[in-house]
Amino acid sequence: MAAAHEPEVIRDKAAMRAWSRRRRAEGKAVAFVPTMGFLHDGHLSLISTAVAAAAGPVAVVVSIYVNPSQFAPTEDLATYPSDFAGDLRKLAATGAVAAVFCPPDLYVRGGAGAGESGGAVSCLEDAGGHAHETWIRVEQLEKGLCGSSRPVFFRGVATVVAKLFNIVEPDIAVFGKKDYQQWRVICRMVRDLDFAIEIIGSEIVREADGLAMSSRNVHLSCEEREKALSISRSLANARTTALNGNNHGQQIKDQIVQTLEEAGGQVDYVEIVEQESLTPVVRIDRPAVICVAAWFGKVRLIDNIEIQAPS
């Protein structure tokens, strides 16, 4: 990374759009890293990926916005950690971020009551946000995995990312593969709706002991954190098992579940799916990914590992 450089902080949507157009007029590509803040080294690695992905001069934009439409009323929106001043210091220290987009809100709010349209609602609607009523759904990819227990999540993610794309107007956007289903949902949305944006998936960044970096890790007690290491360890063991010739999906899933439960975790799901379509596989005889979600204490953690089928 370059020497520390204070990024420009932009809060207004029109100002953000104008900023990007000026950078493009200067001959720079605009690379975009959307985040919800409380940044860690995993987020900072996305910035490095964005810089490396550009063929020439690049202006990197990082957004910080906790999106209410991807949280159900029962989820942790109110307790989602934040440290805006700390985030700005970390971004400045990279020397690679030209602007930080941190809008106060991205949704038009209204006074209608929640639940009028039927079905699952988000925190946005629960707070009386029915003035916003346009949603993007990637119908097949949002099913299963995290979509099973979080029915409004991917609708909210796809919609807010589309809004951010329309505001920032990037040439490149980088998403972490830790949120594997989210990355694939965004790739499919961009393909299907003809966004002229290159989507790049950045590899998972882990702590020294193997735990996948997450803003939610701060809520783990020392004991819970130690138990949560069973996730990455079981995934690594499963990958070794598959590459050594035991490609029976159910046996591998059962072993992961047993490992997590013995460590004190409450399993949300363990699934083995095709890497692009996210359809379940019975045998790992094609490029696949093992995806895990589990609770340790009150913290829900996700992780995954890609497997290229043995030749």
pLDDT digits (tens, 9 = 90+) for 209-225: 999 999 999 999 999 99
Amino acid occupying residue 144 = G
Reply yes or no on whether the pLDDT at 275 is more than 60.
yes
Catalytic residues: 43
Mapped onto helix, strand or coil, the DSSP state of residue 55 is coil
Does some domain include residue 275? yes
Looking at the fold, whether 41 and 115 belong to one and the same domain comes out as yes
Looking at the fold, whether 139 and 224 belong to one and the same domain comes out as no
Instruction: Identify whether the C-beta of residue 73 lies closer than 8 Å to the C-beta of residue 91.
Output: no
- Any idea which of 104-108, 252-256, 304-308 has the lowest mean pLDDT? 104-108
Whole-number pLDDT of residue 119: 60
Cα end-to-end span (Å), the chain: 38
> Rounded distance, CA 124 to CA 110, Å?
10
Whole-number pLDDT of residue 309: 74
Instruction: Encode 268-307: b = buried (16+ Cβ within 10 Å), e = exposed.
Output: bbbbbbebeebeebeebeeebbbbbbbbbbebbbbbbbeb
Provide the percentage of residues in the chain whose pLDDT is more than 70. Answer: 94
Whole-number pLDDT of residue 267: 99
When pLDDT is averaged across residues 78-107 and rounded to a whole number, the result is 96
Summarised one tens digit per residue, pLDDT across range 103-150 is 999 998 875 444 444 466 787 765 554 678 899 999 999 999 999 999
Does some domain include residue 125? yes
Instruction: Identify whether the C-beta of residue 296 lies closer than 8 Å to the C-beta of residue 309.
Output: no
Reply yes or no on whether the pLDDT at 3 is more than 80.
no
Whole-number pLDDT of residue 108: 86
Reply yes or no on whether the pLDDT at 1 is more than 70.
no
Looking at the fold, whether 59 and 140 belong to one and the same domain comes out as yes
Looking at the fold, whether 132 and 154 belong to one and the same domain comes out as yes
Count of domains observed in the chain: 2
Looking at the fold, whether 53 and 121 belong to one and the same domain comes out as yes
Looking at the fold, whether 158 and 248 belong to one and the same domain comes out as no
Provide the percentage of residues in the chain whose pLDDT is more than 90. Answer: 86
Whole-number pLDDT of residue 130: 60
User: What is the biggest distance separating any 2 CA atoms in the chain, rounded to whole angstroms?
Assistant: 58
Whole-number pLDDT of residue 166: 99
Instruction: Please report, for residues 88, 141, 163, 199, the alpha-carbon distance to residue 186 in angstroms, rounded to integers and kept in the order given.
Output: 26, 10, 12, 8
Looking at the fold, whether 232 and 119 belong to one and the same domain comes out as no
Summarised one tens digit per residue, pLDDT across range 10-57 is 999 999 999 999 999 999 999 999 999 999 999 999 999 999 999 999
Mapped onto helix, strand or coil, the DSSP state of residue 171 is coil
When pLDDT is averaged across residues 252-278 and rounded to a whole number, the result is 99
Looking at the fold, whether 52 and 194 belong to one and the same domain comes out as yes
Domain limit, last residue, from 155, 176, 202: 202
CA 124 to chain centroid: 19
Instruction: pLDDT band for 311, please (50, 70, 90 cuts).
Output: low
Looking at the fold, whether 263 and 116 belong to one and the same domain comes out as no
Summarised one tens digit per residue, pLDDT across range 224-244 is 999 999 999 999 999 999 999
Whole-number pLDDT of residue 113: 45
Looking at the fold, whether 151 and 277 belong to one and the same domain comes out as no
Domain limit, last residue, from 132, 167, 202: 202
Average predicted confidence (pLDDT) for the chain = 93
Name the residue range of residue 292's domain: 215-306
